[in-house]
Amino acid sequence: MGWESTSQFNFGLDAATWHNRLAFNVNYYISRSYNLLINRPLSATGNTSGATTIWTNLHDANIHNEGIDLQVDVKAIQSKDFNLSIVGNITHNQNRVVSLGGASPIPYNGGERPYQTHQTQVGSPVGSFYGVKVGGMVREKDLAAVNSDLAVYKANKNSFPTGYKLQAFPISSYSSTPLEAGDMYFRDMNGDGVINEADKRVIGTPYPDFTYGFSLTANYKMVDFSASFNGSHGNQVLDAQDYYIRNMEGSGNNYVQVDQRYRSEARPGNGHEYRASRGGTQSNSTRLSDYYLQDGSYFRCTNMTLGLNLNKLVDLKKAGLSGLRWYVSVDNAFTITRYLGYNPEAGLRQRHQPGAGRRLR
């Protein structure tokens, strides 16, 4: 095993104006990492439990990183009684595998069932979400065509004759039972009428378009206030808890969203939540598809503090104090996000299988 190496080019600019009350800093960088140190799965499914992975260097592999950071510092108001300043930054980064040095794409399992969830492959970011795409939901009116396709498929030894035109949806090799109304079906990417490993693609990215943070501090006479915020935009999160709490298997509590599931043609739900079906048989619901990827964008208030400076109300010397301040502070005051899991920041810093939310144990 050897060292991974990185070469980097930076271009930075610092500027200030308005008597230093407005300052900003821009940093643009391009980097290339070589001789990548990776934790490579030994099994085909990339199950990372137990001794199934090995740390190794990928010789002649390289990864391109490019990004820009912008920081702004504004002292918006400066007066005897009232001061207000704002510090903010925004960061954009993109990474792309340029070469794996001739090695095959590297699969990983960042979920909780033994199926692949991520893949590192040339042309995509490291640890991209990898799986099948949902085409839609099967409805009762489709069943005659589904069964007619199935009869042809079985008669032809589990494949379709060349040139056969599907009446309904591709047949999933992942499921041991035929499609029923309320099941989701997958998109056939190579057009052979069957869903298998060949239909998997990069289906999403755990990396945001940009992340940002800002904080403001203000004081008016004795009162001071500060608040900090951060957020990310455009990334997806694999909510691995969904395997358990969005499946109606009856093994635990479920998201309130499953109330919108398909029950019958009279009660079809919202058209997105599939019927209650045990993963062991209708295992379309346990394979990684874009069904499990959620928008991981969020906006969070990390801290708010309100303080009162009591120095003028107390004889500090007499009391033996250097200062007296009363304050209340709230950490993680609120998070605005469409993500259903516990924390949209889940697993973002995992190198090989980023952006996978786990259930609490």
Point out which residues bind Ca ion (CB under 5 A). Answer: 188, 190, 192, 194, 199
Nearer to Ca ion, 133 or 233 (CB): 133
Would you state the structure tokens that stand for residue 41, as one six-digit string?
A: 């799965």
User: Under a CB-based contact definition with an 8 Å cutoff, are residues 357 and 345 in contact?
Assistant: no
Query: Torsion-angle region of residue 123: left (phi > 0), alpha (psi -120 to 50) or beta?
Result: left
Nearer to Ca ion, 132 or 346 (CB): 132
- Comparing CB distances to Ca ion, the nearer of 16 and 198 is 198
Q: What letter would DSSP give residue 286?
A: G
Residue 188 or 345: which CB sits closer to Ca ion?
188
* Shortest Cβ 201–Ca ion spacing (Å): 11
* Smallest gap from residue 196 Cβ to Ca ion (A): 6
For residue 186, the minimal CB distance to Ca ion (Å) is 9
State which amino acid sits at residue 359. Answer: R
- Number of Cβ within a 10 Å radius of residue 317: 8
Q: Give the burial string for 98-136 (b: 16+ CB within 10 Å, else e).
A: ebbeebeebbbbbbbbebbbbbbbeebbbbbbbbbbbee
Q: Supply the minimum distance, in Å, between the C-beta of residue 170 and Ca ion.
A: 6
Between 176 and 329, whose beta carbon lies closer to Ca ion?
176
Say how many Å lie between the first and final Cα of the chain, rounded: 35
CB of 194 to Ca ion, least distance (A): 5
- Number of neighbouring beta carbons within 10 Å of residue 350: 15
